Chain A
Amino acid sequence: MKNNLGREIFEQVKPFASSDAFNQESRRLIAKKTTEESVVFLKSIEEAFDLLKIKNGMTISFHHHLRNGDKVINLVAETLKKRGIKDITIAASSLFPNNAPLVDLIKDQTITGIVTNYINGPIAKAIGEGYLKNPLIMDTHGGRARAIESGDLKIDIAFIATPAVDRLGNGSGKFGPSACGTIGYVIPDLMYAKKVVLMTDYMTEHIVEPELASEYVDYVVMIDKIGDSEGIVSGTTKVTRDPVGRKIARDTVRVLDALHLIKDGFSMQTGAGGVSLAVVEYVKNIMIQSEIKARFASGGITGQYVDMLENNLVDTLYDVQCFDLKAARSYRENRRHIAISASEYGNPFEIKPIVNDLDFVILGATEVDLDFNVNVTTDSLGQIIGGSGGHSDTAHGAKVTMIVTNLLKARLPIIKEKVTCVTTPGEDIDIIVTERGIAINPLRTDLIDTLSKTKLPIVTIEDLMKTAHHIAGVPNHYELSHQPIGYVRYRDGSIIDTLYKIK
């Protein structure tokens, strides 16, 4: 069966139709959980396992706010293995290389299912090699919130790494040795999982305005260490010094300027990639020179945005996850640095998710095709190397969605006739900025009108591909295997593409 983008998908799934098809549907909500009794404090994970009666076939969820420093996922997985529990589905908002110990548990079928928004490192490789028994499901950040609240993703137990817990069982990411800042991605798990366990290494008397309210919490488990807060720093939070990257960033800002998007009261989101960070630097300079103040910036928040907040260049930060410790500190100290949940951020069925209020978003791409579809899930051989995260959510919500990318990465042209895997549909991608020219989606005649009157190097996407081929040669066609190992679920719950076993 093929979906509307012509991508082959599993039988008996809902095929992707279009990025606004969700408007024809109504929001589905399962009952929120409530705990009948007060929170029970436990001293070990073993006690928790006894009380929770964890058994074969359950779905266990985690968040990724401690990123590559998380210790809770591995601890729970190790305990599952020790107890001989099988057939577990792991619903983690993301998985990182430090979760490598899960590979053995996938191979011995302790873990047979994974639902996540982003995955790289050894687990991604093992899944690509076909070791996961059930199909891998890759959601978006907003789509995961939708999946949980609708019951499409039913969670039996949420193990929530919580940097600080108070004596009533409220939790926060603000305090403690593993403080990571906002913990927005776990809010749906908190509200809809059948059982909720806060895993912590820091107790405090009283938390004012906790992100995790005790009314949803069943157990609190004290362990030695939930993580290493240095590990929450994203790998890519440095402004690029590469001249090609800086040219792309400069041209991106020229486009923003030409479209009059940098004006008083604007809103923006950018990723944590080196080029995106350079874009923010240039935008910031324009704001200072022209005395412009932004209304808000959203997303994963970096120290760069904290500087803008503290210098009164932006009114408010809506933060679903802190990319560095400076952001975590700002969230703790600044009332204008506001935590939002995954649902408030990007769930299509929220009345006003933050992404819908964005004037522009700057995103990356592993591949872009002639239909402007973007892949950030696999490399060109089909190996999983990431996932949507908020890519599809912001691309749909923002008024202007720009992709910044080198035209070639290690000889490989980024522009392809067809992407290896569709993460974000082309209808939501407006402008591609490369060092060799800027392509505008033909659907956006308004942008073409405005930008063709400037001196910017506007070309067609076909031209960009030809330029890439001229430099690198036309790449041989690479046929993926025909053995599906999972699928990419668009934010509305429809299936946008299939993932295949690597050869």
Chain B
Amino acid sequence: MKIGIAGSLESNDCLVTIKESETLSIKVQSIVDAFYHDQIVAFIESVLADVNHDKVDVTVIDKGALNYTIKARLLTALHRMEVSHA
């Protein structure tokens, strides 16, 4: 199975893990879930739609990252998944 990981668990960052999957699945666990959970999930969906990836399993552990950080980590993890040889 192909897998890509990017990011960290530092404050203001997030750790993104992406695996190939039959269907789209997004799991977000954030320190700001009470305030931003739905917005983070919707943002991830929009980034994946932009790059036409809908068959991935995305897990994000978020430590308060802003959207541009989440997007950067997501795209890097996707790239790493595509080039992985697992």
Contact = CB atoms under 8 A, between A and B. Distances in A.
Interface of A: 380-381, 408-412, 471-473, 475-476, 478
A410 B65 CA distance: 7
A473 B65 CA distance: 12
Interface residues of B, number: 15
Interface in B31-63: 31-32, 34-39, 63
A476 B12 contact: no
Nearest to A471: B66
A476 B31 contact: no
A352 to B, nearest CB: 43
A412 B31 CA distance: 10
Contacts of A471: 66
Given A473-B39, A476-B38, A412 B66 contact: no
B23 interface: no
Nearest to B31: A410
Contacts of B36: 411, 472-473, 475-476
Residue from A411, A475, A478 with most neighbouring chain B CB atoms (10 Å): A411
Given A471-B66, A473-B39, A473-B67, A411 B12 contact: yes
For the complex, would chain A's binding face be called helix, strand, loop or mixed by DSSP majority?
loop
Nearest to A472: B66
Contact of A478 (B12, B34, B64, B65): B34
A411 B34 contact: no
A476 B35 contact: yes
A472 B68 CA distance: 10
B35 A410 contact: no
Interface of B: 11-12, 31-32, 34-39, 63-67
Contacts of B34: 380-381, 476, 478
A409 B66 CA distance: 11
A411 B38 contact: no
B35 A478 contact: yes
A471 B67 CA distance: 8
A228 to B, nearest CB: 29
Nearest to A473: B39
A410 B31 CA distance: 8
Nearest to A410: B64
Given A381-B34, A478-B34, A410 B39 contact: no
Contact of B64 (A381, A411, A473, A476): A411
11 contacts: A410-B32, A410-B63, A411-B32, A411-B66, A471-B66, A472-B66, A473-B36, A473-B39, A473-B67, A476-B34, A476-B36
A408 B12 CA distance: 10
Nearest to A474: B39
Contacts of A409: 64
A475 B31 CA distance: 13
Contacts of B63: 410
A75 B34 CA distance: 39
A380 B31 contact: no
A472 B30 CA distance: 14
Given A471-B66, A472-B66, A473-B67, A410 B11 contact: yes
A410 B64 CA distance: 4
Nearest to A476: B35
Contacts of A472: 36, 66
A409 B31 CA distance: 11
Nearest to B70: A411
Contacts of B12: 410-411
Contacts of A411: 12, 32, 35-36, 64-66
Contacts of A478: 34-35
Residue from B12, B32, B64, B67 with most neighbouring chain A CB atoms (10 Å): B32
Residue from B35, B37, B64 with most neighbouring chain A CB atoms (10 Å): B35
B25 to A, nearest CB: 23
Nearest to A478: B34
A472 B35 CA distance: 10
Contacts of B39: 473, 476
A380 B65 CA distance: 17
Contacts of A410: 11-12, 31-32, 63-64
A411 B68 CA distance: 12
B35 A412 contact: yes
A472 to B, nearest CB: 6
A411 B37 CA distance: 12
A210 to B, nearest CB: 45
B11 A380 contact: no
A372 to B, nearest CB: 22
A475 B30 CA distance: 13
B52 to A, nearest CB: 24
A380 B64 contact: no
Contacts of B38: 476
A378 to B, nearest CB: 13
A93 to B, nearest CB: 30
Nearest to A479: B34
A230 B65 CA distance: 35
B64 A475 contact: no
A32 to B, nearest CB: 49
A412 B64 contact: yes
A434 to B, nearest CB: 16
Contacts of B35: 380, 411-412, 475-476, 478
Residue from A408, A409, A472, A478 with most neighbouring chain B CB atoms (10 Å): A472
B36 to A, nearest CB: 6
B60 to A, nearest CB: 13
